[in-house]
Amino acid sequence: MMDECDEPDCAATLKELDVFLDDELSASARLSISHHLAGCPDCHGAFDFHAELKIVIGEKCRNEEMPSDLLARIEQCFSTDFDNDGQIG
């Protein structure tokens, strides 16, 4: 049986969920959070929500077309021809 969840561990786990999902934590931090998630239904529910939200946002961003003038504005900001059309903007 897992230990009962305590609030400081929950707060620390919830604070790190996004970097956990992005696989940007050390191995020991990932292990600690994984262990906590396995024993805490509330934090595991929050993890599931964040994971699903990340998937939905990623899908929506891939399916949306860039506004026609956005690349031109980005090129102007960086003074760089990103699309190699011979023009900045």
Is residue 15 in a domain? Answer: yes
5-16 pLDDT per residue, tens? 556 789 889 999
Whole-number pLDDT of residue 25: 93
Q: Find, among 44, 39, 47, the residue nearest to 5 by Cα.
A: 39
**Domain span at 34:** 7-78
Is residue 42 in a domain? Answer: yes
Q: How is residue 61 written in tokens?
A: 């961003």
CATH number at residue 52: 1.10.10
52-88 pLDDT per residue, tens? 999 988 887 776 677 878 878 887 888 877 777 887 7
Going by the DSSP 8-state scheme, the letter that residue 85 receives in this structure is S
* 8 A C-beta contact, residue 82 and residue 74: yes
Whole-number pLDDT of residue 7: 63
pTM: 0.60
Considering its fold, how many domains does the chain have in total?
1
Is residue 19 in a domain? Answer: yes
Is residue 65 in a domain? Answer: yes
Is residue 83 in a domain? Answer: no
Whole-number pLDDT of residue 1: 37
